[in-house]
């Protein structure tokens, strides 16, 4: 893992991160475009065709029925189910705090307000394949349930017909009954456009590989989406008091995701930088996913040594990391310098893995610098807002002249006439 000190080295590395986030693949885009077109046109037939091709799944049954969910979830170890239950409780409690309320305020001759309503129907994509993620079920379904979404449909790929019992246990724990054994771009298309079996949703959420992310981008507008999730990333801000073994462990916790994950330490302490580099080398030797982590650290990992902690915070704000850990003597003071981050972890006893699984806040976070303008998944992603207006005749009269003046200035005669006709001043 490289140690960077000069402005030139740091700028070059930041450019690598930028290209990693923005890079596209025309071949993949063309494949996804074709898949979505065929799913829209041919429905179940296309979904089944792609599922057989990509997942080697020989079945005409798209749905995983509640009885099968129960049967598969029974295979899950009891201690894991217990852990999922505690995690779900904490996630639900956190997201209950995000509830938004409709509001109305009255003026003398009018009422104004905002009406909050949940989405009618949401589709959730749960990744599967090399690994399966019951935590993703909890993080995507619970805020939708808290928001009051009426219908939640899940798509869970089952390559070779393998159904993950822990994913099924999470699904059963939350009481979701509409589940389909499909993945990839075809699953996104099925939820976005609808098929003979899967009814169209209003919004698609959940992470996935580059094919899933590309499909979500392409169906946006037909339906809403949560975000375009890129490779995972962590940034640790530390002063000389940072624990090198803790920091190295947390960096590797992201690096093991895949070879595109990014793990960065920024510190004004050269001695800490050297200590973390040594720790990384030692801890790597014991990792089952050593090869993946090594590739990730080599391509997108770095230790950046700055002159001051303030400089470190400014570089962090420029990167706008998905996960930001602050390991300093006074994390609260450093927090005041932070403007951009998906989730912020304060102190050495708050590793990012707590947020992944059990702390309560959502682990679906903005990546690739999008934390500069977007937020973690939450209850607010599953509601819509309607403005509310109501005027008496007297209240109408108080604003009539203002509306006519602006409408006429914009050259929109018919807008002005909606006022004049009510006033009885329009010439016939």
Active-site residues: which are they?
Answer: 322-323
Q: What is the pLDDT of residue 100?
A: 94
Measured over all CA atoms, what is the biggest interatomic distance in the chain, rounded to whole angstroms? 88
In this predicted structure, the answer to whether residue 22 has a pLDDT above a threshold of 60 is no
The token pair that represents 173 in the structure block: 């724990």
The token pair that represents 146 in the structure block: 């808290």
Answer whether 235's CB lies under 8 Å from 325's CB: yes
- Alpha helices by DSSP H, listed for 195-269, are 210-219, 244-255
Q: What is the pLDDT of residue 58?
A: 82
417 CB neighbour count, 10 Å cutoff: 14
Q: Where are the domains of the chain?
A: 2-23+230-373, 43-225, 392-423
Q: What is the mean pLDDT of residues 120-142?
A: 91
Answer whether 156's CB lies under 8 Å from 181's CB: yes
The token pair that represents 38 in the structure block: 């065929």
Q: 43-225 in CATH: which number? A: 3.40.50.1980
Q: Give pLDDT tens digits for 56-112.
A: 888 889 999 999 999 999 999 999 999 999 999 999 999 999 999 999 999 999 999
Q: Which secondary-structure segment (H or E) carries 115?
A: strand 110-118
At residue 111, what are phi and psi to the nearest 5 degrees? -125, 140
Is-same-fold flag (2-23+230-373; 43-225)? Answer: yes
At residue 303, what are phi and psi to the nearest 5 degrees? -110, 120
Percentage of the chain lying above the pLDDT 70 cut: 98
Q: What is the mean pLDDT of residues 353-376?
A: 95
Architecture of domain 392-423: Up-down Bundle (1.20)
Answer whether 280's CB lies under 8 Å from 303's CB: no
At residue 183, what are phi and psi to the nearest 5 degrees? -140, -170
Q: What is the pLDDT of residue 24?
A: 63
Cα 233 → chain centroid: 13
In angstroms, the CA 243 to CA 71 distance is 45
In angstroms, the CA 190 to CA 198 distance is 7
Per-residue pLDDT band for 209 (boundaries 50, 70, 90) equals confident
- Express the helix, strand and coil content of the chain in percent, nearest 5 each: 50, 15, 35
Q: What is the pLDDT of residue 114?
A: 97
In angstroms, the CA 16 to CA 248 distance is 22
Beta strand spans in 173-232 (E): 178-180, 203-205, 224-225
What's the chain's average pLDDT? 94
Q: What is the pLDDT of residue 397?
A: 95
Q: What is the mean pLDDT of residues 285-314?
A: 94
Answer whether 201's CB lies under 8 Å from 191's CB: yes
Which residue in the block uniquely carries the two structure tokens 């046109």?
Answer: 41
Q: Give pLDDT tens digits for 271-294.
A: 999 999 999 999 999 899 999 999
Per-residue pLDDT band for 427 (boundaries 50, 70, 90) equals low
The token pair that represents 241 in the structure block: 């008091």
Q: Give pLDDT tens digits for 132-185.
A: 799 999 999 999 999 999 999 999 999 988 899 999 999 999 999 999 999 999
Q: What is the mean pLDDT of residues 7-32?
A: 84
The DSSP line for 329-351 is: S-HHHHHTT----SEEEESTT--
Q: What is the pLDDT of residue 26?
A: 86
Query: Between the CA of residue 331 and those of 46, 77, 231, 328, what are the distances in Å?
Result: 53, 38, 26, 5
Q: Give pLDDT tens digits for 370-425.
A: 999 999 999 999 999 999 999 999 999 999 999 999 999 999 999 999 999 999 87
Residue 251: helix, strand or coil by DSSP? helix
- pTM, two decimals, is 0.92
Query: Between the CA of residue 336 and those of 3, 306, 343, what are the distances in Å?
Result: 26, 18, 14
Q: Give pLDDT tens digits for 230-252.
A: 889 999 999 999 999 999 999 99
Which residues lie across from 151 on neighbouring strands? Answer: 121
Assign a CATH topology to domain 2-23+230-373. Rossmann fold (3.40.50)
390 CB neighbour count, 10 Å cutoff: 12
In angstroms, the CA 255 to CA 342 distance is 18
């Amino acid at each position: 893992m490289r140690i960077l000190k000069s402005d030139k080295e740091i700028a070059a590395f930041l450019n690598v991160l930028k290209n990693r986030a923005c890079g596209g693949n025309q071949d993949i885009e063309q494949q996804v475009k074709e898949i979505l077109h065929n799913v829209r046109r041919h429905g179940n037939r296309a979904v089944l065709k792609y599922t057989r091709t990509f997942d080697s799944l020989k079945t005409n049954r798209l749905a995983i029925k509640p009885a099968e969910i129960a049967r598969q979830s029974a295979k899950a170890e009891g201690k894991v189910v217990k852990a999922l239950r505690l995690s779900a409780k904490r996630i639900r409690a956190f997201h209950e705090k995000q509830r938004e309320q409709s509001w109305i305020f009255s003026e003398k001759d009018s009422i104004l307000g905002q009406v909050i309503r949940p989405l009618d129907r949401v589709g959730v994509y749960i990744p599967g394949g090399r690994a399966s993620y019951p935590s993703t079920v909890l993080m995507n379904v619970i805020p939708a349930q808290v928001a009051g979404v009426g219908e939640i449909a899940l798509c869970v790929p089952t390559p070779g017909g393998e159904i993950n019992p822990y994913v099924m246990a999470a699904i059963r724990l939350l009481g979701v009954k509409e589940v389909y054994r499909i993945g990839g771009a075809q699953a996104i298309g099925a939820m976005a456009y609808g098929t003979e079996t899967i009814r169209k949703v209003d919004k698609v959420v959940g992470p996935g590989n580059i094919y899933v992310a590309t499909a979500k981008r392409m169906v946006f507008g037909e339906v809403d989406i949560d975000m375009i999730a890129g490779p995972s990333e962590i940034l640790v801000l530390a002063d000389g008091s940072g624990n090198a073994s803790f920091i190295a462990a947390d960096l590797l916790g992201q690096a093991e995701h895949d070879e595109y994950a990014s793990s960065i330490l920024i510190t004004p302490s050269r001695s800490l930088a050297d200590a973390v580099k040594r720790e990384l080398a030692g801890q790597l030797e014991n990792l089952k996913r050593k090869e993946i982590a090594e590739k990730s650290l080599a391509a997108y990992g770095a230790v950046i040594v700055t002159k001051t902690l303030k400089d470190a915070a400014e570089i962090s704000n420029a990167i706008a990391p998905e996960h930001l850990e602050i390991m300093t003597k006074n994390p609260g003071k450093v927090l005041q310098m932070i403007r951009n981050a998906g989730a912020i972890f304060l102190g050495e006893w708050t590793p990012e893995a707590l947020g992944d699984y059990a702390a309560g806040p959502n682990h679906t976070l903005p990546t690739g610098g999008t934390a500069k303008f977007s937020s973690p998944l939450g209850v607010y992603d599953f509601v819509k807002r309607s403005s509310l207006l109501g005027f008496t005749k007297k209240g109408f009269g108080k604003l009539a002249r203002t509306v006519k003046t602006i409408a006429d200035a914009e050259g929109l005669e018919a807008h002005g006439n909606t006022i004049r006709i009510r006033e009885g001043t329009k010439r016939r």
